[in-house]
């Protein structure tokens, strides 16, 4: 019985610490029209990069970007960080010599 309790605790902690990252998916469909994304067409919003199927979807996205980001994230999609955010983060951390 003690072994079973220990196993349950270990499994619970493993799920807690891994969170949903193990099940997260990258973006493959356009949030506006639902087509296959083309990485040439994108827009950055609050440090996140959102891809589209065609350039016509970008103005529609910009009317309410929070709506489309939420739609993707509710589907378990993890959006890429914008390159500028990554560079700023690296610049903020001093190099160790």
Q: What angle do CA 67, 72, 74 make, to 5 degrees?
A: 90
Confidence (pLDDT) at 51: 98
Within a domain: 3:
no
Mean pLDDT of 9-34: 72
Q: What is the per-residue DSSP string for 25-76?
A: B---B-TTT-PBPEEEEEEEETTEEEEESSTTHHHHHHHSHHHHHHHHHHTT
In a domain, 10, yes or no: no
Question: Is residue 27 included in any domain, yes or no?
Answer: yes
For 38, list phi and psi in degrees, rounded to 5.
-125, 115
**Residue 77's pLDDT band (boundaries 50, 70, 90)?**
very high
Q: Which pLDDT does position 12 carry in this prediction?
A: 61
pLDDT of residue 86: 53
Q: Which domain holds residue 88?
A: 23-92
The answer to whether the predicted template modeling score (pTM) of the entire model surpasses 0.85 is no
The string of pLDDT tens digits covering residues 23-75 is 679 999 999 999 999 999 999 999 999 999 999 999 999 999 999 999 999 99
Domain count, the chain: 1
With H, G, I as helix, E, B as strand and everything else as coil, classify residue 7.
Answer: helix
5: pLDDT strictly greater than 70: yes
Which is nearest to 69 in space by CA: 53, 55, 80?
80
pLDDT of residue 35: 96
- The answer to whether position 79 is within a domain reads yes
């Amino acid at each position: 019985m003690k072994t079973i309790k220990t196993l349950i605790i270990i499994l619970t902690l493993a799920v807690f610490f891994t969170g949903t990252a193990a099940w997260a998916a990258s973006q493959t469909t356009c949030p506006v029209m639902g087509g296959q994304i083309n990485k040439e067409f994108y827009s950055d919003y609050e440090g996140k990069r959102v891809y589209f199927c065609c350039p016509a979807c970008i103005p529609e996205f910009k009317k309410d970007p929070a709506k489309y980001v939420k739609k993707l994230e509710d589907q378990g999609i993890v959006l890429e960080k914008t390159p500028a955010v990554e560079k700023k983060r690296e610049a903020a951390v001093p190099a160790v010599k």
